[in-house]
Amino acid sequence: MTPIYPDLKNKNVLVTGGSKGIGFAIASAFAAQGCALRLVARDSVSLEQAHQKIQKEYGVEVKSMAVNLSNDANIDQLAPFLQDADILINSAGAMGRGNLQEINPEKFRDAWEGKVMSTIFLTRRIYPLMKQRPDGGAIVNIIGIAADRLNFKSIGTTTANAALVAFTKAMGSESTNDNIRINGINPGLIRTPRTEVLINPTSDADRKAYENLMKNLPYGRMGEASEIANLAVFLASNQASYISGDVITVDGGSRYRY
């Protein structure tokens, strides 16, 4: 059963990366609370599908805009969404795998802009607007487990996530002065379309790797996107009124298992 937070009803929630996976689950969870949604993603097709699905299921107001946030200039297009957003969920972007010698510099910079810089500059743009609102605002950054469990084999992800953890903690420690709470979530291995290759291995080697992975995961399973979404909704609600500058890891404790 979805927890009910009466203070969230009719709030405007801007979700980046809201068309798939964790972002879509978060958008759906806020819609279940009666929030109006502003969805942003770069893939217009999947974005329209998410838009229609949420609107049909929850009957809330949904507006969407296909924007590539790896280009800082495109943030200007979001001005209409930023004006009335009570809550910002930064869930866009992903860094590719590879060690320092394997990463492609061009793709690395594009991914860095889409994940790290979009979070920083969207926060920068919306902050003064939230500051003027009577009820302030809440920002939740969806980051990732590689900020806790550093991984040289995925150096881009580790570096980007660590940067966003530092940004979230630094901003959230002072934002309460302006009645804005800023927190983050570090999801562990979550069942999403991106992890489909693990869920449905196509070779004996992949199948064996999947079986070994499952043996060492808490409860013998990946986390669910809804489990991240429930925490995001809580952090944006008044129930978390004294929580700011924190980053909560949701991985069932897997980062401590060897």
Q: What is the pLDDT of residues 79-107, one digit of tens each?
A: 999 999 999 999 987 777 788 888 888 88
Helices (H), the chain: 21-32, 44-58, 79-83, 105-112, 118-132, 155-175, 196-199, 204-216, 225-236
For residue 117, pLDDT over 70 is answered with yes
Give residue-wise pLDDT tens across range 181-231.
999 999 988 888 777 666 666 667 667 666 776 778 888 888 999 999 999
Q: Give Cα 164 to chain centroid, integer Å.
A: 11
Confidence of residue 65 (pLDDT cuts 50, 70, 90): very high
Any idea how long the chain is? Answer: 258
Which phi and psi (to 5°) does residue 125 adopt? -75, -40
For position 58, what pLDDT does the model report? 96
Angle subtended at Cα 206 by Cα 103 and Cα 160, rounded to the nearest 5 degrees:
30
What's the CATH superfamily of 8-191+224-250?
A: NAD(P)-binding Rossmann-like Domain (3.40.50.720)
Nearest to 233 by CA among 64, 68, 27: 27
Amino acid at site 212: N
Q: What is the mean pLDDT of residues 166-175?
A: 98
| Sequence ranges of the domains in the chain | 8-191+224-250
* Torsion over CA: 136, 41, 228, 1 (sign): positive
